[in-house]
Amino acid sequence: MHLTRRHFLALTAAAALTPRLVIASQHSSSGIRKIQLVAREESRYMLDDSTATTLWQYSEPELRLRQGEPVEIEFVNELSQPSSIHWHGLRVDNAMDGVTGLTQDAVQPGETFVYKFTPQDAGTFWAHTHHRTFEQLARGLYLPLIVEEATDTEYETELVMMLDDWRIQSDGQIDLSSLEDMHDWSHSGRLGNVVTINKQLDPSFTVSAGDRIRIRLINAANARVITVKMPLPGWIIAKDGQPLPMVAPIVDALNLAPAERYDLVLDVPDEPGAKLPLGFIYRGEFYQIGALTVGERGPRLAERSEPSTLPANPISLAATDKTDLKLSLNMEGGAMRWLSEAIYKGERLSGRELMQRQQAWAFNGIANMAEEPMFDVSRGSTVELELINSTGWAHAMHFHGHHFQSTSANYPPGSLHDTLLMAPGERATVRMLADNPGKWLLHCHMIEHQMAGMKTWFNVS
């Protein structure tokens, strides 16, 4: 998980001599990189050295791909449940999007599925199950997906920090009995009691004094918005895998909704031996979840000034001079603003009938997947949606297959998103270019909200 730039460059040089250095990955004669990802149950000393927690994991700790390099990922399901993999934020062909029931059938235990795509965008993404996500994600079925820029960047060290929030019992195991707790589903979603980085409690990351580091921050929690406090000032250089047009200084703490990512640049002070705690703020208190440990001084790659922007990705934005479709998406329901009725599976049901079916939320009066898409547009259309959060809870609105711009004032100017955090009562307008044909999911990434109604889809033909 911790790869320094120097280390990385050394590896690349060595790789010329020993081409099979990259584990579980090989290049076929066609130049397609082949990777196998096995989903299986494993124990991990996540909390301390004596408690092994049983998790569901992939056989690799991280996926590191190259922009423009075709890849074939053979997914092997060794779990006791059907599963799938979704490449969150990557603009892939619809058939590779991994959404069971919409883009593919679930991969049964003992079976395999080959995902094929070529990452178009460099950046910080992640891969996770998209089947019984409320359970499988809570059990650990995710990994960082890093697409490296084709050109070298100016950071000496790179750290991936994938945050998660677990609900752990006193015996150190994941609490599975509360997975379908309707109180969680109708309130904030499943909040845990242990926050980890890279599936480790309070890890320490060693960095060299004077280094400029890039941190790739990912929130893999089922539902917790994590307000991350970095130990040093610095800059945000990308949001949800897409470079910012201008780097933005980090102002105080960063609100990271489930599924959101930030790429940050920090300059390590010239203080060998220093230990810099990092953590999150919850109800005004600081909770440490890790630390940067400053080692000896290393050679510098660049002079210190404001970092440059990352090279832009080949993504087309919504038209500025025309809008092909305008609509609003009203988020309703949940505790305190209970639904009085909604359509569920084509039937109009009362609030009580909805609750009996574990439904508590709706988009425009429809709970959960409708037969018909929320909108259907032809490829190349610019779509403008007004998102209205009429609930008393925060939501993380995620569009599959597309990035979009928003009017939300809570992000650095020019941010592109695949996931947008919306506070209770907030409204935001989003604009996107619907340029990827297929059936795409649109849901809240607080997974329990998604299960309990906040899920729809749109079609691009």
Binding residues vs ligand C2O (CB under 6 A): 86, 88, 128, 130, 259, 398, 400, 441, 443, 445
User: Which member of 449, 453, 456, 457 binds Cu ion (CB under 5 A)?
Assistant: 449
**Cβ nearer to ligand C2O, comparing 184 with 418:** 418
- Work out how close the CB of 398 gets to ligand C2O at its nearest, in angstroms, rounded to a whole number: 5
Q: Which does 403 bind (CB under 5 to 8 A by kind): Cu ion, ligand C2O, none?
A: none
- Work out how close the CB of 140 gets to Cu ion at its nearest, in angstroms, rounded to a whole number: 21
Which amino acid, one-letter code, is at 174? I
DSSP E strands, 240-365: 242-249, 254-256, 261-267, 275-282, 285-297, 325-333, 341-344, 347-350, 361-363
Tell me which long-range contacts 21-28 makes (C-beta under 8 A, separation of at least 24). Answer: 23/60, 24/59, 24/60
**Cβ nearer to ligand C2O, comparing 259 with 366:** 259
Rounded to the nearest 5 degrees, what angle is found at the Cα of 287, between the Cα atoms of 282 and 293?
A: 140
Check binding of 402 to Cu ion (CB under 5 A).
no
- Work out how close the CB of 163 gets to ligand C2O at its nearest, in angstroms, rounded to a whole number: 14
Q: Which does 131 bind (CB under 5 to 8 A by kind): ligand C2O, Cu ion, none?
A: none
Q: Which does 86 bind (CB under 5 to 8 A by kind): ligand C2O, Cu ion, none?
A: ligand C2O
CA neighbor of 408 nearest in space, from 394, 337, 459: 394
**Cβ nearer to ligand C2O, comparing 268 with 451:** 451
By the 10 Å C-beta count (0-12 exposed, 13-18 middle, 19+ buried), 59 is classed as: middle
Residue 158, both tokens: 């790179």
Beta carbons within 10 angstroms of residue 183's beta carbon: 10
- Work out how close the CB of 58 gets to Cu ion at its nearest, in angstroms, rounded to a whole number: 26
Q: What is the largest CA-CA distance in the chain?
A: 67
**Cβ nearer to Cu ion, comparing 63 with 446:** 446
Q: Which does 214 bind (CB under 5 to 8 A by kind): ligand C2O, Cu ion, none?
A: none
- Work out how close the CB of 257 gets to ligand C2O at its nearest, in angstroms, rounded to a whole number: 11
**Cβ nearer to ligand C2O, comparing 167 with 443:** 443
Q: Nearest to ligand C2O by Cβ — which residue?
A: 88
Check binding of 395 to Cu ion (CB under 5 A).
yes
**Cβ nearer to ligand C2O, comparing 278 with 366:** 366
Check binding of 265 to Cu ion (CB under 5 A).
no
Strand order from edge to edge, sheet including 204-209: 204-209, 285-297, 275-282, 226-229, 254-256
Q: Which does 128 bind (CB under 5 to 8 A by kind): ligand C2O, Cu ion, none?
A: ligand C2O
**Cβ nearer to ligand C2O, comparing 190 with 445:** 445
Which residues, in sequence order, are CB contacts of 242 under 8 Å at separation 6+? Answer: 121, 123, 313, 315, 403, 415, 416
Residue 228, both tokens: 């991350």
Rounded Cα–Cα distance for residues 452 and 359 (Å): 4
**Cβ nearer to ligand C2O, comparing 106 with 259:** 259
Binders of Cu ion among residues 285 to 304 (CB under 5 A) are none
Rounded Cα–Cα distance for residues 188 and 444 (Å): 12
CA neighbor of 44 nearest in space, from 131, 166, 144, 148: 166
Check binding of 442 to Cu ion (CB under 5 A).
no
- Work out how close the CB of 75 gets to ligand C2O at its nearest, in angstroms, rounded to a whole number: 16
Q: Which does 449 bind (CB under 5 to 8 A by kind): Cu ion, ligand C2O, none?
A: Cu ion
Kind and range of the H or E element at 134?
Answer: helix 133-136
**Cβ nearer to ligand C2O, comparing 272 with 373:** 373
Beta carbons within 10 angstroms of residue 357's beta carbon: 15
Check binding of 444 to Cu ion (CB under 5 A).
yes
Q: Which does 199 bind (CB under 5 to 8 A by kind): Cu ion, ligand C2O, none?
A: none
Give residues in contact with Cu ion (CB under 5 A): 395, 444, 446, 449
